[in-house]
Structure 1
């Protein structure tokens, strides 16, 4: 969308929302830009995903846990999932902001490597224009085709890279637990299509299964086995939706030799069997015109 950040006068809102898939490593929930009217308010309420706002001009107020922050142009603030928040445009100089909402299996660990913290959710980054441009690119690339979805997710990763690069928070000295989790996630992403289990993941990192379980629960709140299963099923969803592979081939492609077992796991994770999911993604054919 051209000029989304150049409309400094007049109230407007441009946004895009996508289907949500919590089992994906990372998924965009929504993105957009808005010039708010005086005292325009959202909340109090909660989000079910991470939501990054960058203020382009004007100012406003963001409140969470009883603490109110005054936010001005160039600031970026993060709304965490399941936290009650309120944010309001200034009465005399209402803000214009852009935003990107996302979640997924990797979201928590990725955001833990930025300088945002629940007790400090407002950051002024070194190059705020880069943050603004990265968020706008997410919105501009959003769409319903596989190509546009991949472009949008790629731009989301670029945004996350900027958030880490301009203000990363490292693991404490001597604490390798975050590195273990990152290494395990990379191993899963590269090897999920093979016959790997949690023992293989732990061995690749060089720690015991029980140690791997503890660090996963500490940093991302899910077990290694649950993460591996969710990752495989998320990849299966992509294959079912965007290829013509039969279910048995999809199962084999994501590490399941037994298609019946794959179907049971798929239904447990998504709430429906692969055949029903596949049917739900089929585009209805338009009615034929009579001649």
Structure 2
């Protein structure tokens, strides 16, 4: 993408260091793209641990040769030395938290909390976001007292993002189904196929999906379609009928009603307010 901002970690990273302390937060913060396309590449990863958590919008993360589409509540956990490649799309106002940390106790803290490397597809976690906010506020004053408090908040964050082995196994089962919805959002959804993909019965799949993602697969797909429609309406000259077809609606009038119910205004009004000038 021609106007995409590219961040090359090997050239631009600061505070990328190991620590002999038990825990040490190298940096943390919050980022909002305001709809501008942005991509981060670290071919050799970092020497510390990295957590990227999505608050709003969408993030496409490449991990292990697969592309995962994160929605709010999802996060990626990178271990030291692992390649990082993720991007935020044009027209999608995305907000994310991030933290880089290291220390002799970091490996055991991560393991004890049950956080495995890679993408984690979750529903929004208000407690995790609260700890991120407190960490960002605590990081900048500096000093030993603040450092101790920061390490405590980091442990609270890890425990909030962590999961038992049983929970991890359940989440792994539906991760492929969630990614399938993200990549094929414009197609009719087949619950039986998604359940089979997850090695679960239909009823168990529906229960687990709603428990972990906060909504049913059909409602989740509908919300995702609307986010895509907002993106298309914001950045292009496509007609409402064209956008409707691109996100999987045969009837543009039904699309307009669904869009208004979800967003609070019809597609034409959204374009007038948020479209490129």
Name the structure with the higher helix share.
Answer: 2
Larger Rg: 1
TM-score by length of structure 1 reads 0.47
TM-score normalised to the size of structure 2?
A: 0.50
